[in-house]
Every structure is written in C-alpha cells, then in structure tokens.
Amino acid sequence: MFKAIINADVFKDAIEAVSTLVDEAKFRINADGISARAVDPANVAMVAFDLNAKAFESYEATEGEIGVDLARLMDILGMASKDDRIELSLNEETRKLEIRTGGLAYTLSLLDPSSIRKEPKVPNLELPAKIVLNGADMKRAVKAAEKVSDHMALGVAGKTFYVEAEGDLDKVRLDIPESNLISIQASSDVRSLFSLDYLNDLAKSLGKAESVSIDLGSDYPVKFNFNIAGGNGSVTYLLAPRIESD
Amino acid sequence: MFKAIINADVFKDAIEAVSTLVDEAKFRINADGISARAVDPANVAMVAFDLNAKAFESYEATEGEIGVDLARLMDILGMASKDDRIELSLNEETRKLEIRTGGLAYTLSLLDPSSIRKEPKVPNLELPAKIVLNGADMKRAVKAAEKVSDHMALGVAGKTFYVEAEGDLDKVRLDIPESNLISIQASSDVRSLFSLDYLNDLAKSLGKAESVSIDLGSDYPVKFNFNIAGGNGSVTYLLAPRIESD
Amino acid sequence: MFKAIINADVFKDAIEAVSTLVDEAKFRINADGISARAVDPANVAMVAFDLNAKAFESYEATEGEIGVDLARLMDILGMASKDDRIELSLNEETRKLEIRTGGLAYTLSLLDPSSIRKEPKVPNLELPAKIVLNGADMKRAVKAAEKVSDHMALGVAGKTFYVEAEGDLDKVRLDIPESNLISIQASSDVRSLFSLDYLNDLAKSLGKAESVSIDLGSDYPVKFNFNIAGGNGSVTYLLAPRIESD
C-alpha cells in the first residue's frame, strides 16, 4: 500500500535528481519513506536517493517496491504548477501508479522491478578531502569548463578548492579559497579528473542545493551529497574518475 | 472597397483562429464585417469565422471577397506590437492588401479567390450535451492528454464533463464537475473520440477564450464556439470524431 | 604588455560588433586603446573598430598586436554576468590571453596574427546623404524586410529616409520622415540595395546604439557609424551594394 501527498516542486526536484542519471529506477517504499539506488548504463555514476516520509504532506505506506519509467513520470510532473499538490496512490492490483494534480488524474503503468538493472552496492569511501560549497558555484564551474573541454579536474591545493579544464587550446580554472567555501578539510592535496558529460547532468540538481558536500581523493571517485525536500531527504552521487593522461 | 483600422492584438488573435487550421482562406467582406468558412485539407475540421465591423476602430467596405495566404499575413502581423494599430486597405486594381502598422507599410499579394478550396456548408447539428467552460481548462486538458496518447475522448457523465486519453501504457483523465464549469446541460451521457493533432491546433485559440461552449454527442462531431474581439466576433470549430476501437 | 580591466557588458557589446562579421580578427593594441579593421570572407562588409583606453577601468599597454578567435572569446564572455568586471592580461611568452571574471580564470590561446586575413584599407567615401537615427528603428526595418525578401533598399526621398524590400509577391516599406529622425542631410535623392543577410548581422549591434549615422549614395556602399562603450569607442561598418536588377 502506498498513498501520499506532496508539493509538486519538491517532488519534481527530488525525482529529477535520479532521472538525470538513469531512465528507469526501482523505488523501495516503506513506512519511513521512499528510496532508490541506481547506476548509469556505463557504470560511471551512481545515485543514492532517499526521500523521508516527513517530506510529504501525508504519507501512508507498507513495504514494497515499484519500477518507474522516470522520463514518463517527469513528463507528467511537468504538467503540475509550482505550488500544486501531487497525490500519489498505488493500485496494487493493476500495478499502476495514480497521480492526481489539479483535477487531472494520470494512470502510470509501472515497470516490472525485476526488469530493472540491479541496484548497486554503494561503496563506503574514505577520502582525504571534504569540501562544502554552494551548489550554484559548482554548477557555474561546470558550465565554464564545458566551454573549453570535455573533462574537468576537481582538486584541493592547501585550503583552496579548484576546478580546472584544459582543452586543446584554451584552459579555464576556478579557484575557490576557504573564505568562499562553507568549509574545507583536507589531510593532503588531492586531484581527480572527471567527465564533463556526467558532471553536466549532475549539475542540474547540484546547482539547486544550497550546500553540497564533496568528498575527493586523488584519482579516486568523487562523492557529492546534498539535501532535498528542505532537509527531509538526501541525494548522493558517486562519479568514477577518468585517467589523467599527461 | 475595403479600408479599416483595428488593434493589432485583436486582429492577430482573430486571424490565428483561422490560420491554425488552413493555410489559405477566402474572406467575404461586406458593410457588416468580414467572415470566412474553411475546411482543412483532410476534411476533418471546419472553421466558421465572423468579425463584426464593430471590432474595428474604423471600417468602410463594400461587398467583395479576397483570398489570403494566412501564414504570410500572420508573419506580417507578428511584426506589430501588442497595442499597435493595424491599417488595412485593399487596392482593387493591383489586388493587393496594404497593411500599415507603426510606420511600416506592407503590400500583401492576394490569392485568386477561385483558386482557394470551396467554402464548406456548415452543418446544423443538434447535439444532446452542451458544456460551457473556461478555454484555459480545455487547453490544459489537451496538453495533459498529449503526454500519453494521440487521441482524446470528450464526454459527459451525469453533470460532470470529462476528457480522457489512453495510451498503450498510461492514461490521463480530467473530470470537471458542474461547480467548475460555467454551465452544463445534457439530456443523456455522451462520449466521442477526437484526434489530438487537431485538438492541439484548436487549443491555441480556445485557450485564449474566457468562455468556450462545447456541443457534444456520442460518436458525433464536436462543436466549439467562442467569442473573439471582445464579443464583436465569433469562431466556431467543428471537428469530426474518430472511431473508438475498443 | 597589455593589462586591462573593463565592465563585462561594455566589452561584450564591443567585441560582438566585430564578431558578427568575422570569425577571427587582429587587434592592434597601444597606449591609447585597441582597434581592429576586418573584412568578411566574401569582401562584402568591412568593420573598423576602436575602443579607447578610457573605456576601461584600468588600462596599461605597450604597442603590439594579437590574433583572436572571436567565437571562442564571445563564448567566454558569455559566462560573465552583466555587471561583472573582466580582467585581461596578455602573457607575452606563451602568447595566451588570460581572462579573469568572477573567480574564473580563462587562458585563451591566441592566433598567429600573420595567419589572419590582411586588414583592409578603409576607403574614404564622400556620400551625398547622411541620416542619423535611433539604432532600434534600423533594426526594426531590417526585421520587417526579412519577412518578404533577401535584399533591401535604403534611400532618401526629399527629407524622408526610407527602407524598402520587395519579394516575389509581397513588399514592405518604412518611411521615416525628418521628424522621426535625429537628423537628415541630402544634396540629392539616393537609393542603394543591400543584402539582408549582412544587414541582419549588423543589425544586432546597430540595434543597441542610441544613435546611428548612415552615409548613403546611389548604388554605392553604405557606411554605418555608432559609438560604443558610452562614447569611448566607435564602430564603422561599410557594406557593398547589390545591383538593382529592375
């Protein structure tokens, strides 16, 4: 059983954090909330998504799981206005999700959860540097880097977080000193290189977060973490590094 | 002879109600105003357009008819700002329409009226249900239905007007009870299915009308009627049904 | 040596006036400011660009020249917000231009000036008519003409400046009488025809100028001149005429 009501904007932002990476996902539902773990088809990026029952205006659920075509769901959510309420209700018999908003009733066919790619095990990384910054700053860095290259380094030098992208001809670098970060802790200088294709996808959701924490190592995956739904939920992205060739 | 002045926005909205359905139209002009009857190339939808002389700031005309390339006319009207005045004047000798707005003078070549598709006879339908609602509600229903299917049912059940669209997987339904309609009268429950391709075209103009009246039957054409030019004109659309296959 | 700081919007508007016509340009730098002369690949249009040192917040330069890929430069400037400051600094050794704005540091590879098309000699034209008008009016005329044709005549009849475009079917004409011009002087009536492809490119920058002066003859090149950077710079375009075939 699953029956819940939530603000349209909160729900759209939450689902978008997953849909930016994968087309379909298996959501686990229980009395505490809904969650998903998914990895992109190329095994480069992973998302861990948790939306607490408190994020909802009303929430009733027993344990279960549903397979969702995220593009179709986002399409439907796109019809709702900013302050609309979204009513969700699972029809167990037909295996369809009913979505009501502003008088409209959508019936969304669910996917067979067993047909969806297996949920990844999220590795527990211990990384030497942790940076916390405003998500909009991260998004701006990604947009700037895209102008010159298709990959981008994230690094820490002393107490400065930097991003750097180098194309065949041009180069862009953004240094964010400790004074412009929310916080920075680093037991050593670190630097890893990542694909801008992926970072650009993640930047959509990262850019909306007031505070994004970044765990970084040298030639190691990076971990981004931020809250959604006003703190009643969280999203974690893990992104594998690319080999720096010079 | 034809010489008239009209507000740019009023004229754009009026002409758009016809241009959404046909590329060219024959307009009949007389002392009372201008009118057009046109049917789309596939004979699925029909428009009856009447713009009263009172819709114009000034209006002088003797009886005549002109053939107009509506895409070219809309292109020209698109150059005018919202509150501009449009001056229209027919040059009988050259068979060109002069259009002046904000200092710009356009000379639009007219089409030979005899080259334009014959005007249809608008059938007089007696349909069992009549719904009057805000045009924006109708447009919203069409946009929602498009997400899941390429056709949409309009129906009345009791005192509720509904639209319903069913795709291979998903379904959307909008129920509008009497309390959210301007009025509803139905001697019986009705339901007909229509092409969303056409409804989407019509929705552009329907969506701007404060009040749209819908005459509906079962597996019968639907009739939409609404005022333009602040009540000094009207547009009627007739749309043929599609066969419901289940 | 070249080291300068300038408002982002002022610099973007200035560079755009050149980039609309050519992909790469050679800029001459000296203590008084920077300048460029360029002609488009088809030898139809020419730009003379001068940006005075006073347009900059700070400016230090010795004589030199740099070759710039304008598309890449505009791309980078596009990242800056309206009121950002742009810091420019030439690295003489690496032949790269460092561009800093809002914490971001771009390193732009310069082009070998000798690889760039030779600077044109700007001819000294004595033309019988001079019109000064608001740039937005010129832009509006170009946009209107594009609806019907791919070339446009500019002319003077008495004390009226006019533009006229004639397509196969339709025609558009804009008469601007002396009262709606800033000024007009003409020793004779004139008229020349120009390509709308080019005029449309030039209109981007012309449209932002409060005052554009137009020097016009009969079947002669037209000269547009306007100020940039609040009077601390100027742009001149020369555009060759097309032959009027009727």
CB distance A98 to A91 below 8 Å: yes
Tokens at residue B246, please? 């289940």
* A15 and A74 housed in the same domain: yes
Domain assignment present for residue A120? The answer is no
* C68 and C101 housed in the same domain: yes
Do B105 and C169 make contact, defined as CB atoms within 8 angstroms?
no
- Residue that the structure tokens 């699953």 belong to: A2
Q: How far is Cα A237 from Cα A13, in angstroms, rounded to an integer?
A: 15
CB distance C166 to C148 below 8 Å: yes
A chain contacts of residue C105, beta-carbon cutoff 8 Å: 172-175
Confidence of residue A246 (pLDDT cuts 50, 70, 90): low
* B111 and B139 housed in the same domain: no
Domain assignment present for residue B123? The answer is no
State what percent of residues in chain B have pLDDT above 90: 91
* A79 in reach of chain B (CB within 8 A): yes
* C75 in reach of chain A (CB within 8 A): yes
Do A109 and B169 make contact, defined as CB atoms within 8 angstroms?
yes
**Residue B193: its pLDDT value, please?**
97
pLDDT of A245 over the 80 cut: no
**Residue C246: its pLDDT value, please?**
58
**Residue A197: its pLDDT value, please?**
96
pLDDT of C78 over the 70 cut: yes
Domain assignment present for residue B246? The answer is no
Chain C residue with Cα closest to B72: C147
Test mutation, A140, A164, A172, chain C, max C CBs within 10 A: A172
Do A147 and C107 make contact, defined as CB atoms within 8 angstroms?
no
pLDDT tens, A65-116?
Answer: 999 999 999 999 999 988 899 999 999 999 999 999 988 999 999 999 999 9
**Residue A122: its pLDDT value, please?**
87
A chain contacts of residue C108, beta-carbon cutoff 8 Å: 169-170
- Which of residues 135 through 194 in chain C touch A, CB cutoff 8 A? none
A chain contacts of residue C107, beta-carbon cutoff 8 Å: 170-173
**Residue B192: its pLDDT value, please?**
97
Confidence of residue B168 (pLDDT cuts 50, 70, 90): confident
**Residue A75: its pLDDT value, please?**
93
Average pLDDT of C57-81? 95
The pLDDT mean for chain A works out to 95
**Residue B7: its pLDDT value, please?**
97
Confidence of residue C243 (pLDDT cuts 50, 70, 90): confident
Do A172 and C106 make contact, defined as CB atoms within 8 angstroms?
yes
* A108 in reach of chain B (CB within 8 A): yes
Domain assignment present for residue A223? The answer is yes
Tokens at residue C17, please? 């006036």
Q: How far is Cα A167 from Cα A171, in angstroms, rounded to an integer?
A: 6
**Residue B246: its pLDDT value, please?**
58
pLDDT of C188 over the 70 cut: yes
State what percent of residues in chain C have pLDDT above 90: 91
Neighbouring subunits of B (3+ Cβ pairs under 8 A): A, C
State what percent of residues in chain B have pLDDT above 70: 99
Do A72 and B176 make contact, defined as CB atoms within 8 angstroms?
no
pLDDT of B93 over the 80 cut: yes
pLDDT tens, A175-190?
Answer: 999 999 999 999 999 9
Confidence of residue A232 (pLDDT cuts 50, 70, 90): very high
pLDDT of B244 over the 80 cut: no
Closest-CA distance of chain C to residue A66, Å: 42
* B107 and B175 housed in the same domain: no
**Strand ranges inside chain B, DSSP E:** 2-7, 24-30, 33-39, 45-52, 58-61, 64-69, 85-91, 96-101, 104-109, 129-133, 151-157, 160-166, 171-177, 183-186, 190-195, 212-216, 222-227, 233-239
Domain assignment present for residue C246? The answer is no
* C48 and C91 housed in the same domain: yes
C chain contacts of residue A172, beta-carbon cutoff 8 Å: 76, 104-107
Do C109 and A175 make contact, defined as CB atoms within 8 angstroms?
no
* B95 in reach of chain C (CB within 8 A): no
pLDDT of C190 over the 90 cut: yes
With residues binned 3-state (H G I as helix, E B as strand, rest as coil), the percentages for chain B, rounded to 5, are 20, 45, 30
pLDDT tens, A206-230?
Answer: 999 999 999 999 999 999 999 999 9
Test mutation, A168, A169, A175, chain C, max C CBs within 10 A: A169
Residue ending a domain, choose from B46, B80, B115: B115
The pair phi, psi for residue B76, each rounded to 5°, is -70, -45
Domain assignment present for residue A123? The answer is no
Chain B residue with Cα closest to C140: B79
Average pLDDT of B26-38? 97
Residue ending a domain, choose from A88, A115, A142: A115
Domain assignment present for residue C121? The answer is no
The pLDDT mean for chain B works out to 95
pLDDT tens, B100-154?
Answer: 998 899 999 999 999 999 999 988 889 999 999 999 999 999 999 999 999 999 9
How many structural domains is chain A composed of? Answer: 2
* C31 and C103 housed in the same domain: yes
Residue ending a domain, choose from C115, C147, C176: C115
* C71 in reach of chain A (CB within 8 A): no
* B155 and B67 housed in the same domain: no
pLDDT tens, C151-185?
Answer: 999 999 999 999 999 998 899 999 999 999 999 99
* C106 and C197 housed in the same domain: no
pLDDT of C230 over the 80 cut: yes
Closest-CA distance of chain C to residue B101, Å: 10
* C109 and C6 housed in the same domain: yes
* A28 and A102 housed in the same domain: yes
* B228 in reach of chain A (CB within 8 A): no
Neighbour order of strands in the sheet with B64-69: B64-69, B24-30, B33-39, B45-52, B233-239, B222-227, B212-216, B129-133, B183-186
Test mutation, B75, B104, B115, chain C, max C CBs within 10 A: B104
Do B105 and C174 make contact, defined as CB atoms within 8 angstroms?
yes
Domain assignment present for residue B120? The answer is no
Confidence of residue C102 (pLDDT cuts 50, 70, 90): confident
A chain contacts of residue B172, beta-carbon cutoff 8 Å: 76, 104-107
Q: Which of helix, strand or coil describes residue A76?
A: helix
* Domain containing residue A163: CATH number: 3.70.10.10
Q: Which of A129-133, B228-232, C99-103 has the lowest mean pLDDT?
A: C99-103
**Residue A169: its pLDDT value, please?**
86
C chain contacts of residue A148, beta-carbon cutoff 8 Å: 106
* A230 and A151 housed in the same domain: yes
**Residue C145: its pLDDT value, please?**
94
Chain B residue with Cα closest to A76: B147
State what percent of residues in chain A have pLDDT above 70: 99
**Strand ranges inside C40-189, DSSP E:** 45-52, 58-61, 64-69, 85-91, 96-101, 104-109, 129-133, 151-157, 160-166, 171-177, 183-186
B chain contacts of residue A115, beta-carbon cutoff 8 Å: none
Do C176 and B103 make contact, defined as CB atoms within 8 angstroms?
yes
**Residue B243: its pLDDT value, please?**
84
Neighbouring subunits of C (3+ Cβ pairs under 8 A): A, B
pLDDT of C81 over the 70 cut: yes
Q: Domain of residue A89: give its range.
A: 2-115
Confidence of residue B162 (pLDDT cuts 50, 70, 90): very high
* C106 and C176 housed in the same domain: no
Neighbouring subunits of A (3+ Cβ pairs under 8 A): B, C
